[in-house]
Structure 1
Amino acid sequence: MSENRKIAEEVIEAVGGRGNIQSVAHCATRLRIMVNDKEKINQEKVESINKVKGAFFNSGQYQIIFGTGTVNKVYEEVSQLGLDTLSATDQKKEAVKSGSRFQRAVRTFGDVFVPIIPVLVATGLFMGLRGLVMQEQVLALFGMNPEDISQNFLLFTQVLTDTAFIFLPALVAWSTFRVFGGTPIIGLILGLMLVSPSLPNAWGVAGGDVKPLYFLDFIPVVGYQGSVLPAFIAGIIGAKLERIIRKRVPDALDLIVTPFLTLLIMITLSLLVIGPIFHIVEQDILKVATNVLSWPFGISGILIGGLNQVIVITGVHHIFNMLEIQLLAQYHNNPYNAIVTCAVAAQGGAALAVGLKTKSKKLKALALPSAFSAFLGITEPAIFGVNLRYGKPFIMALIGGAAGGFLASILGLKATGMAVTVIPGTLLYLNGQIVLYILVNVVAIAVAFILTWMFGYSDKVKKEIEQ
C-alpha cells in the first residue's frame, strides 16, 4: 500500500468513516470535506496523520491542510476509494447553504470581490515598478533624469496602472451579476455604462474641472470611475431583476426582451437613484476608514496588526477587500496592506521559533515549511498547524503583528496595490519605501520569534497538550 493511500484511509476513518462524508474536494493546499456530523470528527487523530499540517472547520467544510502537490495526491487516492467528489467550486456552492446569515453574507461578499483581486494585484505591481523606474537615483544609473522620460512612455505606464480602476464598476457589476444568478455579460455592460465617456468624468468632477449633469434640476449625474459600492448594489438589484423578468417573458422573446428591459431599468435606477445615494455612502465609509488608518501614535497599526489574523480565523477577512479597492481607486495607495503584512509575517516568525526550538522531528517538518509559507503570504498552515494548536505562539504572533503594525503606521507606509504581503509584497513598495517595508516586517518577525522562543513554546507544553 502506498503512503498516500494509507493517509487517505486514515483521513476517512478520522473524520467519522465513509458514512459521515457527503463529498470531498480540494483546493491548492487543502482537502475539503463536507460531513454529515462534525461531532464525529476526531480532531486529534486527524492532526496526527502523516503530512497533515493542520485541520479546521470553516465555511461549512472540514479543511485539512496538506500543502501544494501533496493534497492532489491524497485527493486522488480518496477519489479512488469510491467517495463522492466535487470540484471545489461546486462544493463551495453546497457549503454556502450552511452557517449563519452573517457568515453566508460575508462569503458572498468574498465571492464577488476575490475574482477581481488578481488584476488589481497586477495593477499594483505596475504602480510599484513605475515608482521604481521614475526614482531619480535609478534614472541616474542610466544618465537620465525625470525630464528625459518621454510622454509616450508615461502614457504607456498610465494604460497599465489606470485601466483597471477606470473600469472598476464594470468588473464589480460583472462579478456581482455572476454571483447573484444574473447573466455576467449584462452586468459587464451595465458597469461599462456607469463609466461611459458620455458622462462627466468622476475624477474631473471631484477636482472641480468638470460639472455634473443635473436631471430634474436636483439629481447629479456623473460617471463612476473608480467606484465600488454603486456598481455592487446595482449588480445585486440588476441580477435579481433579470431573473424576475426572465420568468415572465415568453421563451421566444427572452433573448431580446430580458437584456433590453434589464439594462434600461437598471441604468435609469443606477444613474438617478443608486449612484447618487451609494456614492455618498461610499465616500463616508472611505472617510471613516481613512480617519481610522490615520489615528495618531500608531494606534490603528496596533489594532489592525494585532487583530488581523484573529479575523482571518473567523473567515470574514474578505469583507475588507472592498476597503482596499476603494483606497487604491481613490488615493492610489493602500496603508492597510502595510499593516496587515506585519500580522502575516509575525505568524511566520512564531512558527519559525517553534520549528527551531522543538526537538520533535515531525513538528520541525511541519513548523519550518509553515513559517516559509507565511513569509510568502499564506498563514493558514502556520496558524492552524502550529501556532493556534499550541496557543501561546499564536498570541505572541499577534503581539508581533501589533508591533510591526505600529511601526508601519508611524512611518506612514503605503502599498501601491493589495493582496500580496511579506516577501511578494516587496513589489508594492518599490517606490522608495522598500527599506522601511523590510524593516517593519523584520520587527514583526523578530518580536514574534523572540517572545515565542522565550515564553510561547516548549516541548514540555507540547507533551501536555498532546497527552
Structure 2
Amino acid sequence: MDLRQQTEEILKALGGEENIHAATHCVTRLRLALNDEEQVDKEKLESLDVVRGSFSTNGQFQVVIGQGTVDKVYKELMSLTNMEQSSKEDVKTASAQKMNPLQRAIKTLADIFIPILPAIVTAGLLLGINNILVNPGIFYDEQSVIDVFPQWADVTNVIAIIANTAFTFLPALIGWSAVKRFGGSELFGIVLGLILVHPDLLNAWTYGDAVKDGTVPIWNILGLEIEKIGYQGQVLPVLIASWVLARIEVGLRKVIPDSIQMLVVAPVSLLVTGFLTFIAIGPAMFAVGNGITDGLIFIFEQYAWLGGLIYGGIYPFLVVTGFHHTFLAVDIQLVGSTGTTFLWPMLALSNIAQGAAVFAMMLATKDENLRGLSGTSGVSAWLGVTEPAMFGVNIRYKFPFFAAVIGSALAGLYVTLESVKATSIGVGGVPGVFSIVSGFWFEFMIGMTIAIVIPFIVTFIIAKRRNV
C-alpha cells in the first residue's frame, strides 16, 4: 500500500486542503474540523484501502485508519499540505463553532464527565469485585467468600474503601473537571467539591432519616436558617456551583492587580461561592436532582416494560446524536441517591448488541476491508466503545444498526422487567457484568444473550441475502 498516494486520495475525498480547518489524530482515527462536510465524498473515501470507515460526531469528521497506520497517514497529510499540526483541543475548539446551543450544552457535559469517567469505571469494577467477595450465595450456599475464608475480610475491606472513594468524593472530581472546563483554576474546583463533602456536614445519605427524626443540623446566619448538610453523591449542586466559582474567579482576575491576586481571588471566590451554594444553589439543585431520580424510579416502577423497551431502543440513537453524555450524569446521580442504577445495564447491552451486529457482518461479508474493520470495531464495542462499529459499519449499511436496535430494545425490556441493577457505571460491554448487582447476574446474562443472538442472526441473514 502506497500511503502517500492513499493520503492524497483521502485529501481529495475530503474536499481538498481548503476544506480542512484543523486536523489531528488519536490512536485509530484522523480527527478533522472541516469547513463544509457536504463536500466530503464518503463513497470514494471509504473505498480506499487504508480507510476503515468514517463518521461525524460533535462537529468533528473522523476517518478510521487503524492503530499505528493513522500516525503515518497524518504525517503524510501534513507534508502534502501547508497546514500546521493541531492539538485535539484546537480541533475541538474549531468544531464547537459549528454547533448549535443544544449541541454545545451536550458537549460541555461530555467535556466535564468524560475526564472523570476512568475513576468512576474503576470504582465500578472494584465494587463488583467487592460484591463477589461479600455477597452470600455466589459460590457457596447462604455464605459469602469471606464467611468461608475470614482471613480475606480485611483485604475485602481495603478493596471497598478504594472502590468507594470516587463516589464519596465525587463532588471533588466533578468540581475539578467542571471548573477547568468553565475556565477557572481546577484546584479551586477540587476545594469546592471537598467543601461540599466536609465531615462536619450531615452526610447526604443520612439526610432522609434526619428529616424524619427532626435532627437536621441548622446554621443561623443573619436570621437565615440554613441546613448544614453535605452533598455526597450529588451531581447538580457542584456542577452549578463550579460554574459560579469559575465566573467569579475569572471576573476577579480581570480587575484585581497581579500583586495581590493570591490574597484576594481565591478567598473571595470560594467564600462567595460557598455561601451561595449552602444558601441557595445546594438546596435547589438537591431538590431537582432528587426530583429527577424519583421521577425516573416512578416511571420504571409503574411502566417497567415500556421504559426498558424505549430506553434500550433509543440508546443507540442517543449515541449517534451525542445525547448519551447527558445520561452519564443521570446514572451518576442515581448511584449517588440510591446506591444503584437501573439505566446503565441497558447501556451495556446496547453496546453488546452493536458489537454482535458488526461481528455478523465480519462473518457474512466477502470484502476484506469490511471484514477487518468489523472485527476490530466489534471487539471495541464489546469493550464499551461503539462509535467505530456504529459509524464505520452498522449505520453505513443501515440494517445492522436497526438489527442491533431491536436486540437492544428487547434486552432492555427483559432486564427492566427483572429489575436488574448495577452498583455503578462500569465497562459498557461484556465486562459490564462485574458492575451488576450479584443477585441479578443470571438475568443480565439472559439479557446479554438476547442482545447478542437477535442482532447477529438478523444481520447475518440479511447480509448473506444482499451478498454484502
TM-score normalised per structure 1? 0.92
Q: CA deviation at 1:104?
A: 0.6
| 2:218 matches 1:213 | yes
Q: Is the 8 A contact 2:139 2:145 kept in 1?
A: no
Counterparts of 1:54-453 in structure 2 under 5 Å?
A: 54-82=53-81, 83-136=83-136, 137-138=138-139, 145=147, 148=150, 152-153=154-155, 155-208=157-210, 211-215=216-220, 216=223, 218-429=225-436, 431-453=438-460
Q: Is the 8 A contact 2:358 2:378 kept in 1?
A: yes
SS in 2 for 1:50: coil
Instruction: Answer with 364-373 or 101-110: which moved more.
Output: 364-373
Q: CA deviation at 1:32?
A: 0.8
SS in 2 for 1:32: strand
Q: Is the 8 A contact 2:403 2:458 kept in 1?
A: yes
Q: Is the 8 A contact 2:362 2:375 kept in 1?
A: yes
Q: Is the 8 A contact 1:132 1:430 kept in 2?
A: no
Q: Distance in 2 between matches of 1:341 and 1:220?
A: 38
Q: Is the 8 A contact 2:355 2:382 kept in 1?
A: yes
Contiguous gaps of at least 5 residues in structure 2: none
SS in 2 for 1:457: helix
Q: Is the 8 A contact 1:175 1:184 kept in 2?
A: yes
Q: Distance in 1 between matches of 2:335 and 2:282?
A: 20
Report Cα offsets for 1:2-29 as digits up to 9, x if no partner. 6333332221111011222222111233
Report Cα offsets for 1:32-80 as digits up to 9, x if no partner. 1122222221111111111322212222221112233332332233233
Give the residue type in structure 2 aligned to 1:364: R
Q: Give RMSD over aligned pairs.
A: 2.4
Q: Is the 8 A contact 1:339 1:404 kept in 2?
A: yes
Give the residue type in structure 1 aligned to 2:194: L
Give the residue type in structure 2 aligned to 1:96: A
Q: Is the 8 A contact 2:201 2:230 kept in 1?
A: yes
SS in 1 for 2:438: coil
Q: Is the 8 A contact 1:133 1:139 kept in 2?
A: no
| 2:457 matches 1:457 | no
Q: Is the 8 A contact 1:205 1:212 kept in 2?
A: no
SS in 2 for 1:145: helix
* Structure 1 pair 295–275 and aligned structure 2 pair: CA distance change class (3 A): same
Q: Distance in 2 between matches of 1:368 and 1:84?
A: 34
* Structure 1 pair 326–360 and aligned structure 2 pair: CA distance change class (3 A): same
Q: Distance in 2 between matches of 1:290 and 1:142?
A: 30
How many residue pairs get matched?
A: 460
* Structure 1 pair 142–430 and aligned structure 2 pair: CA distance change class (3 A): closer
* Structure 1 pair 147–268 and aligned structure 2 pair: CA distance change class (3 A): farther
Q: CA deviation at 1:134?
A: 1.6
Report Cα offsets for 1:253-274 as digits up to 9, x if no partner. 1121111110111111111111
SS in 1 for 2:21: strand
SS in 1 for 2:183: coil
Q: Distance in 2 between matches of 1:188 and 1:8?
A: 44
Q: Is the 8 A contact 1:422 1:441 kept in 2?
A: no
SS in 2 for 1:378: coil
* Structure 1 pair 260–61 and aligned structure 2 pair: CA distance change class (3 A): same
Q: Is the 8 A contact 1:131 1:431 kept in 2?
A: yes
Q: Is the 8 A contact 2:130 2:156 kept in 1?
A: no
Q: Distance in 2 between matches of 1:40 and 1:148?
A: 66
Report Cα offsets for 1:165-222 as digits up to 9, x if no partner. 2211111111111000011111111111111112222223233275232433543231
Contiguous gaps of at least 5 residues in structure 1: 463-467
Q: Distance in 2 between matches of 1:205 and 1:13?
A: 62
* Structure 1 pair 446–295 and aligned structure 2 pair: CA distance change class (3 A): farther
SS in 1 for 2:227: strand
Q: Distance in 2 between matches of 1:151 and 1:56?
A: 49
Q: CA deviation at 1:313?
A: 0.6
Give the residue type in structure 2 aligned to 1:173: G
TM-score normalised per structure 2? 0.92
Q: Distance in 2 between matches of 1:321 and 1:333?
A: 13
Give the residue type in structure 2 aligned to 1:302: L
Report Cα offsets for 1:286-316 as digits up to 9, x if no partner. 1112223334452221111111011111122
User: Percent of aligned positions with the same letter in both sequences?
Assistant: 35
